[in-house]
Copies of this chain bind each other. A is one copy, B any other.
């Protein structure tokens, strides 16, 4: 029996959509899961009643304090210790659940995961990894948490991203690409040039080289590695253009009688296309490098996206991902140490 701890209060549409999402999770996902819902009990129960959602078997941990989307992230550990996010993270830390899902303030969740749940041993910086709605899906690490990074951080993002795609998404020998402004190995800033060398030398990952923005969509890699600044620009640009194109298409289809007829003929297909490019279909963003599964659902998640984030939390908690990450990082560290010792002993000759 798994236990998933759910932050009911964060996010743009909470608690209405989080309650609906949990309702769908109970109905549609693995029955052998218990949910701990952290949030305002009266609000949660009222919404459940009004929407005829059964929360039977769920445990509700009541709190009225909420971390808002504009709150300073540090409040999660100092100032709003009684917020639903803070309580949920502490319960995860204390072993009262197997995973934590939140649609709230990203910075606060990242900070709380780091300071309350703590990092996997050997991890320099955890990364927020977003599954991009491509076919097949591509994991972007980092998608915004670490604006300033070193080549070593990026190497760890590559290792953690690989482990996630293998263990949670079932991709064998995931291909890792480095997001860059050209394919040649001298491309990019110093950061990318140095990272290229390190990734190429790392035998434990399947590095396929530099990948340009347009090539990410062409089934060239399963994991795309970037600093959080570039990753954020990449992710937001995809989101923005995707939405704009669907909007243009929709307004075109509904502009005239003739095109409306066409719209009716392809209604199902249009929904399919929308689904194809909907990040919410894939669930949330795991925070890689935290010692227990913490999943960030998109701030604007509706019920379905929230349910999918819960699905992902269950899948994550079914794996030995954190152990694998710890071992992989230890292996890389050991290999580097050995290489340094060889070098040092040669220099002493």
Contacts and interface: CB of A to CB of B under 8 A. Distances in A.
Interface of A: 134, 144, 147-148, 179, 181-182, 188-189, 212-218, 228-230, 232-245, 248-249, 252-253, 255, 258-259, 261-263, 265-266, 269, 272-273, 276-277
Which 7 pairs of residues, A with B, have the shortest CB-CB distance?
A: A214-B240, A213-B236, A213-B237, A262-B265, A181-B232, A262-B262, A214-B236
A267 to B, nearest CB: 9
Contacts of A253: 266, 269
A212 B229 CA distance: 11
Nearest to A190: B148
A240 B213 contact: yes
A252 B269 contact: yes
A238 B236 contact: no
Q: Is the interface of A mostly helix, strand, loop or mixed?
A: helix
Given A261-B265, A265-B265, A269-B252, A188 B238 contact: no
Residue among A188, A253, A255, A262 with the most chain B CB within 10 A? Answer: A262
21 contacts: A144-B181, A181-B228, A181-B232, A182-B232, A212-B236, A213-B233, A213-B234, A216-B240, A217-B240, A241-B245, A248-B273, A248-B276, A249-B249, A252-B266, A252-B269, A258-B265, A258-B266, A259-B265, A262-B265, A262-B266, A265-B265
Given A188-B147, A233-B233, A245 B243 contact: no
A340 to B, nearest CB: 30
B249 A273 contact: yes
Contacts of A252: 266, 269, 272-273
A277 B147 contact: no
Contact of A241 (B217, B230, B258): B217
Given A259-B265, A266-B262, A237 B234 contact: yes
A56 to B, nearest CB: 40
A346 to B, nearest CB: 35
A216 B234 CA distance: 12
A25 to B, nearest CB: 28
Nearest to A248: B273
B214 A239 contact: yes
